[in-house]
C-alpha cells in the first residue's frame, strides 16, 4: 500500500503532526510518501521536525496554496491534494488538517473527488468546528448545519475530530457521518517534569514565590491582555507573580512596558518575550503554580491545558467550549468568565491560594494517557490496520476509556455557557 501524508502548510504545529505520523505509517506502508511545498522544505519547521526522518519516506513536492477567501482557499487545498495524489499514485491519503477541504469535497461529491485523486481512500482531521457548543448564535448554528451536511456528503473513509464536543455532536446525529467519525487525541510530546524550583532556575527567573502564567503566543486573541489586567487588579500576595512565556504582539508588549511598567519593574510580571523551544515551554509549565488559559472565544482543544494536567499543575481556564467542559469534568482546575475583570481577578487570587492543595480528579491520568504521541499514532493508523488485517494496538486508549475513568458517581459538570463573538 502506498500511503501519502499530505500537508501543504508548514506553519504552527503542522510539521509536528507530520513528525508524529511518519513513524506511525512507515511500518505499515509498502511505500510512504510525504507531500509538502517547496517553501516548506526550506523552512526551519520542516528542517527541525521532519527532515531527520527523511530515510523513512519519499518526498512529493505539492503545489502551494493560494488564499482567495474561504472558498478559494478550500479549492486550492483540493487542487494541491489531487495533484500530489495523482503524482504519487497513492492508495491511501492522510490529511492532518482537513478544515475547509473536507467541506469542499462534500460540495463536489464522492464521484468527482475520487476521479480527482485516482480512487484512493483517505482520512482527514478537523481541528475546528464549534459543533455542539452551547450559547452560539443563529449564524453559528447555520454554519454547523451546512458544515455537517457537506461533510456527510464527502468521500472520506474516516473523518477525525480533535474536539470532543464536536465529535459528540456529530455522532449524536445518527447519520453515515456519525459512523465514519472518530475522536483524535491532541498529542503532547513526552516530558519528564521537574520541580518548580528546578524549572525556575533553568529559565533564569526568581525561584521564590507563587506564579500564575501563560505560554505560547502572547496576543489579545489568547486573552493575554485580559490576564494582565486581571492580575494587576487582583489582591494577590506580594510574592505572587505573573509569568508570560512566548513572543508578544505589539499590543501586549506595550501593555507590559507602559501600562504595567511598575509591576514589571517590581518583578511581579515576568516576561520571556520570544519564540521558545518545546523544552522551554515545558519548563515554563513546570515553573508555574497555576497554568492560565484565558482564551476568550477559543474553539477546539488547547494543548496547554493537557500539558498542565500532565505536569500536575492546575489550570485556570475560560469557562467556554472545550476548556469549559474538560477542566471541571476531569478535575483539572477551575474555570471562570475571563471577560469579567472582577470575576477573573478573584479567580486568580483563589487559584494561587489553593494550588498547593489542589486535588486532581480521578480521571486525570486517563485524560493525559489519551493525549500521548503513541495514542495519537494508534488512532491515525486504525483504519489502515483494519484494511491490512493487522491487529489493533493493545494499549490504545479511547475516549470511552477516558470517560469511564472519570468518577463514576459524579454527574458530568455542566458546560458553562458563554456566547462567542460572531
Q: Mean pLDDT lowest for which of 150-154, 212-216, 368-372?
A: 150-154
Q: Give the pLDDT confidence of 77-89 residue by residue, as tens digits.
A: 988 999 999 999 9
CB of 348 closer than 8 Å to CB of 234: yes
Question: What pLDDT sits at residue 408?
Answer: 44
Dist CA 256 CA 52 (whole Å): 39
- Residue 406: pLDDT band by 50, 70, 90 thresholds? low
Which one, of 322, 272, 316, lies nearest residue 294 by Cα?
316
Residues in CB range of 178: below 8 A, 6 or more apart: 170, 171, 172
Highest mean pLDDT among 12-16, 31-35, 298-302, 398-402: 31-35
Mean pLDDT of 106-129: 84
Tell me which of 57-66, 128-137, 256-265 is least confident.
128-137
Of 205-219, 302-316, 331-345, 380-394, minimum mean pLDDT range: 380-394
- Position 415 scores a pLDDT of 35
What confidence score (pLDDT) does residue 420 get?
A: 35
pLDDT confidence tier of residue 220, bands split at 50, 70 and 90: very high
What is the mean pLDDT of the segment spanning 340-364?
93
Measure the CA–CA gap between 146 and 74, rounded to whole angstroms.
15
- Looking at residue 96, the DSSP 8-state letter turns out to be S
pLDDT digits (tens, 9 = 90+) for 314-329: 999 999 989 999 999 9
Listing from the earlier edge strand, what are the strands of the sheet with 158-161?
Answer: 58-61, 31-36, 2-6, 92-95, 121-126, 158-161, 181-183
Question: Which H helix or E strand runs over 200?
Answer: helix 196-203
For the chain, which domains are there? Answer: 2-184 (3.40.50), 196-362 (3.40.50.2000)
Amino acid at each position: 500500500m502506498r500511503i501519502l501524508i499530505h500537508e501543504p502548510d508548514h506553519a504552527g504545529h503542522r510539521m509536528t503532526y507530520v513528525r508524529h505520523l511518519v513513524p506511525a505509517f512507515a511500518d505499515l506502508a509498502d511505500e510512504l510518501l510525504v507531500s509538502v511545498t517547496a517553501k516548506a522544505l526550506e523552512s526551519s519547521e520542516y528542517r527541525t521536525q521532519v527532515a531527520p526522518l527523511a530515510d523513512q519516506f519519499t518526498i512529493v513536492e505539492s503545489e502551494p496554496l493560494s488564499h482567495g477567501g474561504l472558498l478559494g482557499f478550500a479549492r486550492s487545498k483540493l487542487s494541491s491534494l489531487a495533484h500530489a495524489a495523482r503524482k504519487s499514485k497513492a492508495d491511501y491519503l492522510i490529511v492532518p488538517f482537513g478544515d475547509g477541504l473536507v467541506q469542499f469535497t462534500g460540495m463536489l461529491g464522492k464521484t468527482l473527488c475520487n476521479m480527482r485523486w485516482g480512487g484512493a481512500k483517505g482520512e482527514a482531521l478537523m481541528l475546528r468546528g464549534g459543533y455542539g457548543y452551547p450559547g452560539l448564535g443563529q449564524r453559528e448554528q447555520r454554519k454547523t448545519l451546512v458544515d455537517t451536511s457537506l461533510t456527510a456528503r464527502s468521500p472520506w473513509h474516516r473523518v477525525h475530530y480533535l474536539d470532543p464536543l464536536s465529535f459528540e455532536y456529530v455522532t449524536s446525529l445518527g447519520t453515515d457521518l456519525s459512523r465514519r467519525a472518530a475522536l483524535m487525541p491532541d498529542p503532547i510530546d513526552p516530558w519528564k517534569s521537574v520541580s518548580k524550583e528546578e524549572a525556575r532556575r533553568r529559565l533564569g527567573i526568581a525561584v521564590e514565590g507563587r506564579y500564575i502564567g501563560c505560554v505560547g503566543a502572547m496576543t489579545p486573541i489568547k486573552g493575554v491582555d485580559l490576564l494582565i489586567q486581571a492580575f494587576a487588579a487582583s489582591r494577590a500576595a506580594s510574592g505572587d507573580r505573573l509569568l508570560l512565556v512566548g513572543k508578544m504582539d505589539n499590543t501586549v508588549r506595550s501593555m507590559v512596558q507602559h501600562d504595567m511598567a511598575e509591576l514589571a519593574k517590581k518583578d511581579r510580571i515576568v516576561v520571556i518575550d520570544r519564540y521558545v523551544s518545546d523544552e522551554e515551554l515545558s519548563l515554563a509549565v513546570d515553573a508555574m503554580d497555576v497554568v492560565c488559559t484565558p482564551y476568550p472565544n477559543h474553539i477546539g482543544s488547547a494543548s496547554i491545558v493537557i500539558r498542565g494536567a500532565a505536569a500536575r499543575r492546575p489550570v485556570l481556564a475560560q469557562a467556554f467550549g472545550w476548556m469549559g467542559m474538560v477542566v471541571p469534568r476531569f478535575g483539572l482546575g477551575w474555570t471562570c468568565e475571563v471577560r469579567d475583570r472582577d470575576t477573573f481577578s478573584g479567580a486568580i487570587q483563589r487559584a494561587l491560594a489553593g494550588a498547593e492543595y489542589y486535588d486532581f480528579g480521578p480521571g486525570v491520568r486517563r485524560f493525559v494517557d489519551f493525549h500521548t504521541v503513541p495514542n495519537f499514532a494508534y488512532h491515525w493508523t486504525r483504519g489502515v490496520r483494519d484494511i491490512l488485517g493487522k491487529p489493533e494496538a493493545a494499549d490504545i486508549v479511547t475516549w470511552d476509556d477516558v470517560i469511564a475513568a472519570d468518577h463514576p458517581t459524579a454527574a458530568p459538570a455542566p458546560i458553562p455557557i458563554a456566547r462567542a463573538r460572531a
